């Protein structure tokens, strides 16, 4: 993420440190995915060289897939400025989560949003916190234990399967993660299988339409591209909420 215009000096110092981490591989994908499955045989994807250094050279429906943020950069997910920059609490309110619901936080990382969702679903609900990096899930589990949260269930997924129980989820939330899926079609197939009829899928992505949003190009998505990629899934677009400073909240529901 690029800092806002005229940031304070302490922000610049932190940002320079982050840039060095990024340059030396903190944001690189894990060296090996211990839970990766054999790659599907498909012609849905294209591969091009040369390509954007922030991407993996693999394209889906005209969009290059971005590198995954490695677990070494986990502190960035918990930075003190995140609420001010992204209005995370407002996002949770916009989701209108109810007590007793089952919510899945895909690419949960350290559990920044899982913790907030846990309070909304309450003791009668639960949050599936999915990630493909076991190191992230370890951090997440330690944070949940430290604050006494017991209704968050860590799930180790793969690059093609979220491993969520079929037909069990009311809401799937993906915050700045979908654009990093190595196999977006296959992952969304699995996610759709996990949804209850009428269940919602929510994409929170930095707005690719807006050049003022200070994020690298491959880590932003336009609403049109998200809707294009979901056209092959059993999902119906519901609305696009633009209340957040830099991100849009794109909401679909499962048909049938």
Give the residue from 157, 133, 137 showing the smallest Cα distance to 145.
137
Q: The whole model's pTM is what?
A: 0.86
In a domain, 14, yes or no: no
Helices (H) and strands (E) in the chain, counts: 8, 10
Q: What is the pLDDT of residues 64-108, one digit of tens each?
A: 999 999 999 899 999 999 999 999 999 999 999 999 999 999 999
Window from 2-6, 36-40, 161-165, 181-185 with minimum mean pLDDT: 2-6
* pLDDT at residue 142 is higher than 60: yes
Q: What is the pLDDT of residues 216-234, one digit of tens each?
A: 999 999 999 999 999 999 9
Sign of the CA dihedral running 141, 73, 190, 93: positive
CATH number (domain holding residue 161): 3.40.50.150
> Residue 84 CB: number of other CB atoms within 10 A?
11
Which residue segment(s) compose the domain that 99 sits in? 87-256
Residues whose CB falls within 8 Å of the CB of residue 196, separated by 6 or more in sequence, listed in order: 167, 168, 169, 170, 254
In a domain, 241, yes or no: yes
In a domain, 182, yes or no: yes
In a domain, 38, yes or no: no
């Amino acid at each position: 993420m690029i800092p806002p215009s005229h940031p304070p000096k302490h922000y610049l110092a932190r940002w320079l440190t982050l840039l060095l981490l990024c340059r030396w591989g903190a944001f690189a994908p894990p060296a090996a995915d211990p839970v990766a499955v054999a790659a599907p045989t498909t012609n849905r994807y294209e591969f091009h060289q040369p390509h954007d250094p922030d991407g993996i050279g693999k394209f889906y429906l005209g969009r290059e897939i971005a590198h995954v943020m490695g677990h070494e950069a986990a502190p960035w997910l918990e930075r003190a400025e995140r609420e001010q920059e992204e209005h995370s609490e407002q996002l949770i309110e916009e989701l209108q989560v109810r007590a007793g619901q089952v919510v899945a936080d895909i690419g949960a990382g350290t559990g920044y949003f899982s913790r907030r969702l846990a309070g909304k679903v309450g003791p009668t609900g639960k949050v599936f916190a999915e990630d493909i990096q076991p190191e992230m899930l370890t951090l997440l589990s330690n944070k949940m234990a430290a604050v006494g949260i017991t209704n968050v269930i860590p799930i180790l997924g793969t690059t093609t399967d979220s491993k969520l129980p079929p037909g069990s989820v009311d809401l799937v939330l993906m915050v700045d993660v979908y654009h990093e899926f190595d196999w977006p079609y296959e992952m969304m197939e699995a996610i759709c299988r996990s949804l209850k009829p009428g269940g919602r899928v929510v994409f929170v992505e930095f707005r690719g339409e807006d050049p003022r949003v200070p994020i690298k190009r491959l880590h932003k998505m336009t609403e049109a591209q998200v809707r294009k990629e979901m056209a092959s899934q059993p999902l119906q677009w519901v609305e696009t909420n633009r209340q957040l400073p830099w991100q849009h909240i794109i909401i679909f529901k499962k048909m049938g």
